[in-house]
Amino acid sequence: MELKKIYLVLLLGLSGPILLILSEFFSWFSDYNLIELYVIYTDLQIESSFLFLFPLISGIVCLIANVLVIYKVEFRIKSIILSFVGLGFQLLFFIDHISQEIEFISDAGLGFYLGIFGFLLIIINVINVLTTVENQSGG
């Protein structure tokens, strides 16, 4: 039973960042995915173009944080800090990009929903990792 719970936590921890990374390659509010928008905006407005890489960066940072917890449970706090950094990138992207596209929210594509769902799974995983009590074998 305990092994089943461990695998469930592992699956939850890895699925959020993977969904966030996948959202980069699906369209959000237009027919373009975020990688294509990055290339287009690099030619037009270089200062705004890096915003479209934030879901990818956030997913990679949170994936590294979850691999740290899988590798060694003692890295829990460090992984939570890394997850908050990744969530910060994603939150900046949500605030900036969605505020510009708010009138098109009804035409949102699959990438938008994958990004939101991945973001929520990462938050749930952070809460789960913080509330997990380790069995201390003392001596």
Residue 1 lies in a domain: no
Task: Give pLDDT tens digits for 93-116.
Answer: 888 877 877 776 777 788 888 889
Residue 110 lies in a domain: yes
Q: Which residue has the tokens 């035409």?
A: 107
Residue 74 lies in a domain: yes
Query: How far apart (Å, rounded) are the C-alpha atoms in residues 111 and 29?
Result: 8
Residue 138 lies in a domain: no
Task: Give pLDDT tens digits for 50-99.
Answer: 788 888 889 999 999 888 888 877 888 888 889 999 999 899 888 887 78
pLDDT category, 42, cuts 50, 70, 90? confident
Bridge partners of 27?
33
Which residue segment(s) compose the domain that 50 sits in?
A: 7-131
Number of domains in the chain: 1
Query: How far apart (Å, rounded) are the C-alpha atoms in residues 129 and 111?
Result: 26
